[in-house]
Amino acid sequence: MDISRRRALALGGGAVLGAAGVAAVAGGAGAAGGWQPLIVVTANIGRKRLKKREPAILAVRRAVKSGDGYAKPLVGWQEIGEGDDDGREARWINKHFGSGFENIYEHKNPAQRVPISVPNEYKIIDKRVTKVHGGKKGVSPHRVITQAVLQHVDDPKMRFVFANTHYVAGAWNGKEDAHEAWRDRMWARHFRTHREEVLRHWRSQGFPVIWTGDVNRNGMPLLMPQHEKRAFKGGIDQIGWVPGGNGTELRLKRTKVVPMDVDGHNARVALMQIRRA
């Protein structure tokens, strides 16, 4: 559902910080100034070796070790149910991201292709889907940007927005066909919507925003050059973030890549930290 300006103002904001490894992160929830780990992953499952899909989802769940187990990542998924909608991918997400997570948009149209998995250290206090375009048959599916307003369960003032998206298929791939002009227009529309209706919208309410997505452009310009930071310098699978004004802060410590072996996409991981100043 869409969130009204009044509702957004009532919710306040939140921030995310980048962090090195989980073991290196100090601090605890509930106290201003304590840095906490926040693992962010963007994961495009892909369409080629379909038998590898469940192992790929499990690999994302095990992206970062923590003690004797694995840290719980905040994940933006792409291409879930796209092209081979057998329902298995959504079921596998719910299987491997079941206990300890809340999954949203994994089954629903029109946002099923970009669901989000949220660790239960965070409460989803609101969510919305922003439509970008309706797609074109045989060229690219419709595109949306899914968003969740997250609040730390032990520190309700620590709040931020997590957004996930997938830009138009085949854009900026160096190939030409009869639909290139349409792709160019839809990519530009997506970029504007991403900037204006997601990043600037939420920042105006005080929220920091972290976003994940397959942008289908290697060397994508910054959406907000004065504010935005990116975890990775290049590649079409990206993680970015912008600060807010609600006292929640973000910083990046390091990154890693997790092979998924379905097609050319690997999961990309930002080991971040978050705190409330």
- Residues facing 274 on adjacent strands: 36, 250
Q: Counting every residue, how long is the chain?
A: 277
200 SS3 class: helix
Model pLDDT, residue 213: 98
**pLDDT category of residue 18 using cuts at 50, 70 and 90:** very low
Is there a contact between 207 and 195 (Cβ–Cβ < 8 Å)? no
Average pLDDT, the chain: 88
Is there a contact between 30 and 223 (Cβ–Cβ < 8 Å)? no
**pLDDT category of residue 33 using cuts at 50, 70 and 90:** low
- Residues facing 159 on adjacent strands: 151
Q: What pTM was estimated for this model as a whole?
A: 0.88
Least confident of 11-20, 163-172, 181-190, 239-248: 11-20
Is there a contact between 2 and 128 (Cβ–Cβ < 8 Å)? yes
pLDDT digits (tens, 9 = 90+) for 102-136: 999 998 777 678 999 999 999 999 999 999 999 99
Model pLDDT, residue 1: 43
- Residues facing 101 on adjacent strands: 119
- Residues facing 36 on adjacent strands: 274
Model pLDDT, residue 92: 95
pLDDT digits (tens, 9 = 90+) for 216-243: 999 999 999 999 999 999 999 999 999 9
66 SS3 class: strand
189 SS3 class: helix
Model pLDDT, residue 181: 95
